């Protein structure tokens, strides 16, 4: 296991002005295990505690309680050893705006212990990988958001770490760059590098990661592979708008092929397996119950349905 965390907690004491303080329980007991060469995602809404968790694992923030071992070393007692083994790309990026990206990359390489010529070779490789060679000598402040992200990533990988932390790596990227980044993350895994990334994009967690945890209010509410988590909910979901929602829910809940129903505002979601085959039966049931359907759609269950099931609200309107 490259990451083993037990009951990690972090309580911040935030100033509220006029000398008053407030306790913020950012992380409230998180257990994690991530194995070598795995893409692991922490999915959760804003303020869920993703960044705080990553910061504790990356030795930036000391946990209030709990323990974590990263690459075999304790994150508090052996922080220096952990730092040799990780790359960390923060949510903010962390590339010096005033210098050319190449300089930041070279400095990071030298700090990681490379000689001057090794550092040049390594920087050259990374610039090539992330197609940055052309813009390596321009001050970073003149680059676009996506180009800066790629520099941040290159710097995070400079010491060939067996584990990288990517805190919301795709926020602010256009679809093209997002897809490129996904490819780069997959390439890392193929070389045996473990990746722990955070995201609040459902499709990203679904498409990219081998396993994930869903974090809400500082706690893990679900854990597993995307497939397993979705299967626990059901294969498919029928979303309905009805005039009489309560009786519709009662009627559908009584059907044998319906696993679960959930009413939210004016929509009713019914979870079922093998939706294509069961949809006709569902329609017949509603018709014989005399319920008028205003709209209906059938879709595969997503991680949002998983989130909804575990937290009672949709990730789209969480936060």
Partner 1 sequence: MFRHTMLFLGYELGNVRRNPVWPLFGILQPVLYLLLFAPLLTTMTKGGTLADALRMFTPGAMMMIALFGSLFTGFTMINETRNGVLERLAVSQAWRPAIILGRVIKDVLVLIVQSLLVMGVAMLMGLRLGVASLLLMLLLMAATGLFATGISYGLALAVRDEGGMSQIVQFFALPLTLLAGMLLPISLGPQWMQTVARFNPLYYSVEAGRSLFAGHLSDSTIPIAFGLFAVLGVLTLTWAVRSLRSLAG
Ligand X SMILES: Nc1ncnc2c1ncn2[C@@H]1O[C@H](COP(=O)(O)OP(=O)(O)OP(=O)(O)O)[C@@H](O)[C@H]1O
**1, 4, 12, 221: which one binds ligand X (CB under 6 A):** 12
**42, 43, 51, 282: which one binds Mg ion (CB under 5 A):** 51
Q: Does 61 bind partner 1 (CB under 8 A)?
A: yes
Q: Is 292 in contact with 240 (CB distance < 8 Å)? A: no
- Beta carbon of residue 262, minimum distance to partner 1 (angstroms, whole number): 37
Nearest to 153 by CA among 177, 117, 176, 175: 177
Distances (CA, A) of 262 to 5, 217, 231, 265: 34, 22, 17, 10
* Sign of the alpha-carbon torsion through 189, 159, 9, 4: positive
Q: If you ran DSSP here, which 8-state letter would residue 291 be given?
A: P
Output the CA angle 220-226-232, nearest 5 degrees: 80
- Beta carbon of residue 44, minimum distance to ligand X (angstroms, whole number): 5
Complex with ligand X: residue 49 or 66, whichever CB lies closer: 49
Q: Does 73 bind ligand X (CB under 6 A)?
A: no
Between β-strands 39-43 and 211-216, what pairing exists: parallel, antiparallel or unpaired? Answer: parallel
Quote the distance between the C-alpha of residue 3 and its chain's center.
Answer: 16
Q: Does 49 bind ligand X (CB under 6 A)?
A: yes
- Beta carbon of residue 207, minimum distance to ligand X (angstroms, whole number): 19
Q: Does 29 bind ligand X (CB under 6 A)?
A: no
Q: Is 40 in contact with 209 (CB distance < 8 Å)? A: yes
- Beta carbon of residue 73, minimum distance to ligand X (angstroms, whole number): 23
Characterise 304 by phi-psi region: left (phi > 0), alpha (psi -120 to 50), beta (else).
Answer: alpha
Nearest to 307 by CA among 202, 231, 207: 202
**66, 93, 169, 226: which one binds partner 1 (CB under 8 A):** 93
Binding to Mg ion by CB under 5 A, coded x per residue (else -) over 87-126, reads ----x-----------------------------------
Nearest to 57 by CA among 178, 182, 213: 213
- Beta carbon of residue 293, minimum distance to ligand X (angstroms, whole number): 37
Burial class (CB in 10 A: 0-12, 13-18, 19+), 29: middle
Q: Is 283 helix (H, G, I), strand (E, B) or coil?
A: helix
- Beta carbon of residue 211, minimum distance to Mg ion (angstroms, whole number): 20
- Per CB under 5 A, the segment of 73-81, 85-93, 134-142, 222-230 that binds Mg ion is 85-93
47: partner contacted, choices partner 1, ligand X, Mg ion, none (Cβ within 5-8 A by kind) = ligand X
Complex with partner 1: residue 110 or 120, whichever CB lies closer: 110
90: partner contacted, choices ligand X, partner 1, Mg ion, none (Cβ within 5-8 A by kind) = partner 1
Residues lying near ligand X in the complex (CB under 6 A) are found at 12, 14, 24, 26, 44, 46-52, 91, 200
Residues lying near partner 1 in the complex (CB under 8 A) are found at 12, 55, 58-62, 80, 83-84, 86, 88-99, 103, 107-108, 110-113, 152, 155-156, 159
């Amino acid at each position: 296991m490259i990451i083993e965390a037990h009951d990690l907690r972090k309580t911040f004491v935030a100033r509220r002005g006029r000398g008053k303080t407030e306790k913020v329980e950012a992380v409230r007991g998180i257990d994690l295990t991530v194995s070598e060469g795995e893409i692991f995602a922490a999915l959760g809404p804003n303020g869920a505690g993703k960044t705080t968790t990553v910061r504790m694992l990356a030795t930036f923030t000391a946990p209030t309680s709990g323990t974590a071992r990263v690459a075999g070393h304790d994150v508090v007692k052996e922080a220096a050893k952990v730092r040799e083994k990780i790359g960390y790309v923060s949510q903010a990026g962390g590339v010096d705006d005033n210098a050319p990206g190449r300089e930041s990359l070279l400095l990071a390489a030298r700090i990681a212990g490379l000689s001057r010529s090794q550092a040049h070779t390594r920087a050259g490789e990374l610039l090539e990988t992330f197609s940055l060679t052309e813009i390596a000598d321009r001050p970073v402040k003149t680059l676009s958001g996506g180009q800066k992200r790629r520099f941040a990533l290159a710097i995070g990988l400079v010491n060939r770490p067996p584990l990288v932390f990517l805190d919301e790596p795709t926020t602010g990227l256009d679809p093209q760059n997002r897809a490129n980044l996904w490819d780069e993350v997959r390439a890392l895994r193929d070389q045996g590098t473990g990746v722990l990334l955070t995201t609040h994009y459902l499709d990203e967690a679904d498409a990219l990661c081998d396993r994930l945890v869903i974090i809400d209010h500082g706690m893990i509410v679900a854990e597993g592979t995307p497939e397993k988590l979705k299967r626990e909910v059901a294969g498919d979901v029928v979303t309905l708008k009805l005039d009489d929602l309560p009786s519709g829910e009662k009627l559908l809940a009584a059907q044998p092929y319906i696993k679960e129903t959930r009413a939210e505002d004016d929509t009713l979601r019914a979870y079922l397996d093998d939706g294509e085959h069961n949809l006709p039966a569902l329609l017949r049931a509603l018709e014989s119950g005399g319920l008028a359907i205003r709209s209906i759609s059938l879709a595969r269950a997503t991680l949002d349905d998983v989130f909804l099931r575990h937290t009672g609200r949709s990730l789209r309107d969480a936060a």
